[in-house]
Amino acid sequence: MKFVLWEKLAGLEGKELVMLIAAAVVAAALIVLLVCLRKRSAEEAPGKRVDTRALVYGALCISLSFVLSYIKLFSMPMGGSLTLCSMLPIAMYAWAFGPAYGFTAAFAYSLLQIIQGAWIVHPVQFVLDYFIAFTCYGLSSLFPKCLPLGVGVAGLARYACSVISGVVFFADSAAEAGYESALLYSLGYNGGTIGVETILCVIVACVPGVVRIAKAMNRKRA
């Protein structure tokens, strides 16, 4: 797989090259954000050790999301599936512990998704559908006052990544399926999996008991 990716990268030009650069910029921005947040945290509390509670819950939530990702209600022919709220543990963790831990855990989860089985047709699509899309779950951390809102935004962000990927890289599939618009095809295709799962996760996140669990993860955030 590495050799194929490098060959495709070497042949990029025009719009595809611009998209790759844009994807790299987004990834770099996330890394810079994490570094700045960690630096700020260190300045505010010099000598403070890494939060053991955060690490333990991070490992648990990543593991739980990974296990739930194998519980698939159905799978789509060109990749993608509707799972049993697999994004929720990661989104809850990000919401409970903030951006630095949240984006890091979400990125780690993206690596597990690649190991689980990646559908690759292009290097840019690979970055967009996996590294960026799953790391978007960390966006839940930006809405500390409302867990359902954070979960919804995180899910919609991943949905947007997949829709863009579908329009750009799977337009041929839309034509084969009888769609004149690749956008409508991508909206429907991804809506049946990521869209539905996001709705389910938001509904679950509205349950008072779930919110209490998220707050209990990090009492400082409660």
Which residue ranges in the chain fall short of pLDDT 70?
Answer: 1-50, 77-80, 219-222
pLDDT at 146: 95
* DSSP strand pairing (72-75 vs 81-83): antiparallel
Other residues' Cβ atoms within 10 Å of the Cβ of residue 26: 17
pLDDT at 218: 75
Please, what CATH class does the domain formed by 2-217 belong to?
mainly alpha
* Segments making up each domain of the chain, as ranges: 2-217
pLDDT at 37: 59
pLDDT at 201: 96
Contact 166, 186 (CB under 8 A): yes
pTM equals 0.75
Residue ranges in 81-190 assigned as alpha helix (H): 88-97, 99-117, 123-126, 133-135, 147-169, 171-176, 182-190
